[in-house]
Structure formats: structure tokens, C-alpha cells
Amino acid sequence: MNGDPATSVTIRQKVGGLVWRYLSRFDEGEVIRWAFRGMLIGTIGVLALDLSELVERNGGLFPPQAIAPSPDQPILPPAVETSDPAETGVDPRQFLTVDEDRLKGAMRFTLGAGGVLAAEGTIDPGAATRFAEEIGARGEYVTTVALNSPGGSLDDAMAMARLIRDKELGTEVADGALCASSCPLVFAGGATRRAGEKAAIGVHQFYSAGSTEGLAPAQAMSDAQATTARITRLLAELDVDPAMWLHALDTPPRQLYYFSREELAKFRMVTDPQPIAAKRK
């Protein structure tokens, strides 16, 4: 009987008649409103699924800020290699005297003699807030910010740079110290900027700490260009040649372009071409 076409048609007609008689009990406007509600619930369900996929892809409702270096990246990455030796930055790693464990930790601030505030460690999200609190508490005693950092959060580095310039503080990277990735942006904030002859100051490409898998290429390119524009404007405001950041754009995240003393002077990264040690003699 289940395979009889005539029987199947009769059953469908009876079911359709029952449904129609049931719906006819309701006001036509009420039926339309329930149909609209059903469509609305379905749309909300689809949007919820899309939002869930977005959160899973980006690691949160909002994409993470650009940050470097990667947790598994060495504190002292190798110098970038180019096809033209004349374009390869110097590699001062042989002179560095850094404690990798301390540099991998969150940035901390220590006020020393002569008004020198040591800023050592990774520029973690929130470092700019702690720095502002430190300056608020000890600002009258601080004249110079001494940097020793592998870099980190771009947003925090830029905020620190602006605060340093607003307070007209100096910045320095001493012999044996490291200032890499986003740290040179903090260094650029100094009203006066000095570096040791055996200091390491280097840059590389920025990137997002969260997953960008599935991010549309157009959106990824737009985000990168917007961040580059922000950095360029900041360097121009601080009277540092924005051309120095071209070396960052050319250098993979797992390498560094270390600036020579000539380049530091050329890009106005230092305001005094003489090394720190020479000035203090």
C-alpha cells in the first residue's frame, strides 16, 4: 500500500486539508505575524552561527592588536640577510649582555641614580598604563628612560613614546642592551636620544599575536596599511625619518634589521652621534 501513488496523493491531500482547516481558525494577520517571527528567529540563528565562527577564528569578539615578538621566537633573532650586502644591517649580538628570562617577562620599571628610569622586559599589553603610573608617581625625578626590551605591543609602545615626548624625557639604549621590534618606537619618543656603541637597535615586520586564519586578504592588507600609516605619522611627529621603518617592512618577523651608528644618525634616531659611554667620560 505504501508504494501505491494514488494512495500517497490521497494522504497528502488529507494532511493538506487538515493543515488548512487548522490555519483557517486563526486571523490572517496573526498567521502572517507568526510567519514573520519564524523568519526572524531563523535569521538570528544564522547570525549567531556566523558570529561564533568569527569569534573562533579571531580568538575573541574583537581581533587582537598587533604584537611582537612571538613567544617561541628567540630574544636575539639573527640579522636579516639580503642579496645586497650593502643593505644588510650590522649584527651587534656579540656585544649584548642580556638576561633572556628577564627580557621575556613583562616590562618593569626601576628608578636608578641620575634620574635614569630603567625599562626592561617585553612591552606587554598594559605596559603603557604601568609606565604612565610610574611617571605619575616619580616623574619629577626622571630625566631619562633607559630601554632594554625585545619589543611587544605596538599600541603600548606608541603610547609610551608619546608620553615620553610630552614629558620631554630623554631615551637611551646602553652598551650591551637591546631595543628591538616595537621598542625603537619608544626610543624615538625621547626629546634627546642616545645609544651606546655596542647597543643593538633593530626592527622587523609587525604581526598579530592571535590567529588570522580565515581573515580575508583584503582585510588583512587594509589592517597592515592602517598600522603602517599610524607608525609613519608617529615617527614624523617625533622628528624621526619615517624611512627607517622601511627596514621593518622588508624584514621577516623572525629576523631583525640592526641599525648601524651611521644609519641611526641618518634617520635621526639619535640626536647625539656620540656614544653614551663617550659622553659620560
> What residue ranges do the domains of the chain occupy?
5-58, 85-280
Based on its alpha-carbon atoms, the radius of gyration of the chain, rounded to whole angstroms, reads 30
How far apart, in Å, are the Cα atoms of 39 and each of 31, 127, 268? 13, 48, 62
Contact yes or no for 181/73 (Cβ under 8 A)? no
Provide the pLDDT for residue 98: 75
Q: Which helix (H) or strand (E) holds 8?
A: helix 5-24
> CB under 8 Å to 250, separation ≥6 — which residues?
80, 82, 257
Residue 49 has pLDDT above 70, yes or no: no
- pLDDT tens for residues 155-207? 999 999 999 999 999 999 999 999 999 999 999 999 999 999 999 999 998 86
Provide the pLDDT for residue 223: 74
Q: Which residue has the higher pLDDT, 40 or 238?
A: 238
Give the pTM. 0.69
What is the separation, in whole angstroms, between the first and last Cα of the chain?
107
Of 247, 256, 215, 211, residue with least CA distance to 228: 247
Provide the pLDDT for residue 82: 47
Q: Which residue is it, cell 624584514?
A: 251
Provide the pLDDT for residue 23: 54
How many residues in the chain? 281
Q: Which residue is it, cell 639580503?
A: 82
SS3 content of the chain, % helix, strand, coil (to 5): 50, 15, 35
Provide the pLDDT for residue 42: 57
85-280: CATH architecture: Alpha-Beta Complex (3.90)
